[in-house]
Amino acid sequence: MKTEQATFAAGCFWGVEETFRILPGVISTEVGYSGGKGENPSYEEVCSDATGHAEAVRVEFDPEKVSYEQLLEVFWNNHNPTTPNQQGPDHGTQYRSVIFYHTPAQQQLAEKSKSALEESRKWRNPIVTQIVPAAPFYRAEEYHQKYLQKRGLDSCHL
């Protein structure tokens, strides 16, 4: 089986990971930090807003079972891409909306999907999601991995 990787940031990584983890065709997920300065940052450093890293989820998937386009659709439908550095009650650059593409094909598909979403006028405000090359990914501390699953939860929402 040939797998591919996708990396997304869409707010607190606990809920984002769970959303992707349960999709058929997703082989594995892990949460971490990407897109900023400094190697192997801690959660506390990222939350201090000093590193510029985003809370991100790296997804390993089987493209025969779930396409990158389908992953993009899940990404767009599970957060608000119009709020800079914020998702719900969470504020800070670590909560920004980012698609970290791994290949030129992923970049093209991400840009195409963003344009289609903008043209749909689903959102009143402009989409602020960044589409950038995949940066080094630093795996978050173990207690963050599969956080919701470990607690028998399927979302962060109250």
Beta-bridge partners for 10: 97
12 is catalytic: yes
pLDDT band at 157 (very low <50, low <70, confident <90, very high): low
Q: Which amino acid is at 77?
A: N
Global pTM value: 0.94
Answer yes or no: are the C-beta atoms of 57 and 148 closer than 8 Å.
no
What mean pLDDT is predicted for residues 28-53?
96
Residue 88, pLDDT score: 86
Higher per-residue pLDDT: 38 or 88:
38
> Per the residue annotation, which of 12, 74, 98, 109 is the catalytic one?
12
Percent of the chain with pLDDT over 90: 89
Q: How far apart are CA 58 and CA 66, in angstroms?
A: 15
List pLDDT tens digits, range 54-102.
Answer: 999 999 999 999 999 999 999 999 999 999 999 988 999 999 999 999 9
Token duo for residue 114? 């963003």
Closest by CA position to 25, among listed 70, 75, 78: 70
pLDDT at 155 exceeding the cut of 90: no
pLDDT beyond 90 at 152: no
Query: How far is Cα 8 from Cα 32, in angstroms, rounded to an integer?
Result: 10
pLDDT given for residue 158 in this prediction: 44
Going from the N-terminus, what domains does the chain have, and what CATH number goes with each? Answer: 4-150 (3.30.1060.10)
HEC per residue, the chain:
CCCEEEEEEECCHHHHHHHHHCCCCEEEEEEEEECCCCCCCCHHHHHCCCCCCEEEEEEEECCCCCCHHHHHHHHHHCCCCCCCCEECCEECHHHCEEEEECCHHHHHHHHHHHHHHHHHCCCCCCCCCEEEECCCEEECCHHHCCHHHHCCCCCCCC
